[in-house]
């Protein structure tokens, strides 16, 4: 088998650099009497969600942020969750928060997510913030940005990759990547050209082969194959597929990108270890920026 040729886009290293920068900004805020506060809302005891929330709090506390954990039982009513969100919206110690998904099935997820104060939207996916992003092509951004797409761009930029004039093909049409990613890429400061493809696109390969950059967040195992990647292209693997191990062991996690793409691509983000760590770093960035805006420092 040929050796890997792609440069690894190491999300762990890039996110570590971001956290060092954030720690300095947090210290500057504290010197002004402001402690950036990040909160999570966890409804129920899903083990994966508990692990993910715990990791976010450990990382935010490590850079000096105030970590606020809110938990409700799995049988919490819509009204109880709404009351908790209202409490966080009104709390000046909380500068940004997330509602950990998935929520129990009896709750109206969309209604709860839209109840978040847009200025405290740590994920950057509130409809108001996405709408502002649609309208703002040229100006300074003063609202939270979608943290996973922002992490994709940061990972490329911090590895010296210039996106200006590049053709980026985004695979997927979900709210986390597929829909917001082109909004960030086509802002004038980034200036990329974007094509969106998805599982309903006939002959997806002909679009992928024309791409300078592929960002795949479809959640379809190995949908991006080596024969569909232009030699030297940058490929970012964001999608996740879980499959039960037929041998009865733990479920296995697969990315959207086939492992052999490493022999064709010029740059490749691993999955895990690529965009995932960047998402958490940019989530914290959104909250620090919100604290800076609240303090009149941004």
Is 100 a residue of the active site? yes
Torsion angles phi and psi, residue 59, rounded to 5: -70, -40
**Burial call 24-61: b when 16+ CB within 10 Å, e when fewer:** ebbeebeeeebebbbbbbbbbebeebeebbeebbebbe
Task: List the catalytic residue out of 19, 100, 121, 256.
Answer: 100
Contacts of residue 96, defined as CB under 8 A and 6 or more positions apart, other chains included, come to 37, 38, 39, 120, 121, 122, 144, 286, 287, 290, 291
Task: List the catalytic residue out of 59, 70, 120, 123.
Answer: 123
Give the residue numbers of the binding site: 172-174, 240
Cβ 245 vs Cβ 251: under 8 Å: yes
For 279, other C-beta atoms within 10 Å of its C-beta total 21
CA distances from 284 to 115, 129, 223 (A): 20, 17, 31
Task: List the catalytic residue out of 56, 120, 166, 230.
Answer: 56
Give the residue numbers of the binding site for NADP(+): 172-174, 240
CA distances from 229 to 31, 77, 105, 195 (A): 49, 48, 39, 15
Q: Which residues are catalytic?
A: 56, 100, 123
């Amino acid at each position: 088998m040929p050796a890997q040729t792609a440069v690894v886009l190491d999300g762990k290293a890039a996110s570590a650099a971001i956290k060092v920068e954030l720690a300095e900004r947090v210290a500057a805020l504290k010197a002004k009497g402001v402690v950036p506060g990040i909160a999570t809302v966890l409804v129920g005891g899903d083990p994966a969600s508990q692990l993910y929330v715990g990791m976010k709090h450990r990382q935010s506390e490590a850079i000096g942020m105030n970590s606020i954990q809110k938990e409700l039982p799995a049988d919490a009513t819509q009204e109880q969750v709404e009351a908790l969100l209202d409490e966080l919206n009104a709390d000046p110690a909380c500068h940004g928060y997330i509602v950990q998904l998935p929520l129990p099935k009896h709750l109206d997820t969309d209604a709860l997510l839209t109840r978040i104060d847009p200025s405290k939207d740590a994920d950057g996916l509130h409809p108001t913030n996405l709408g502002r992003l649609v309208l703002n092509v040229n100006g300074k951004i003063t609202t939270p940005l979608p943290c996973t797409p922002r992490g994709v761009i940061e990972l490329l930029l911090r590895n010296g990759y210039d996106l200006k004039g590049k053709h980026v093909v985004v695979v997927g049409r979900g709210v986390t990547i597929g829909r917001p990613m082109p909004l960030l890429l086509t802002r004038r400061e980034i200036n990329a050209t974007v094509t969106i493809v998805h599982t309903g696109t006939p002959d997806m390969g002909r679009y992928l082969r024309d791409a300078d950059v592929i960002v795949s967040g479809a959640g379809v195992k190995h949908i991006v194959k080596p024969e569909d990647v232009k030699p030297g292209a940058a490929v970012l693997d964001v999608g996740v597929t879980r499959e039960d191990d037929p041998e009865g062991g733990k479920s296995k996690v697969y990315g959207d990108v086939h492992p052999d793409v490493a022999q064709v691509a010029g740059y490749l983000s691993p999955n895990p270890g690529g965009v995932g760590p960047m998402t958490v770093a940019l989530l914290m960035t959104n909250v620090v920026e919100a604290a800076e805006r609240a303090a009149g420092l941004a």
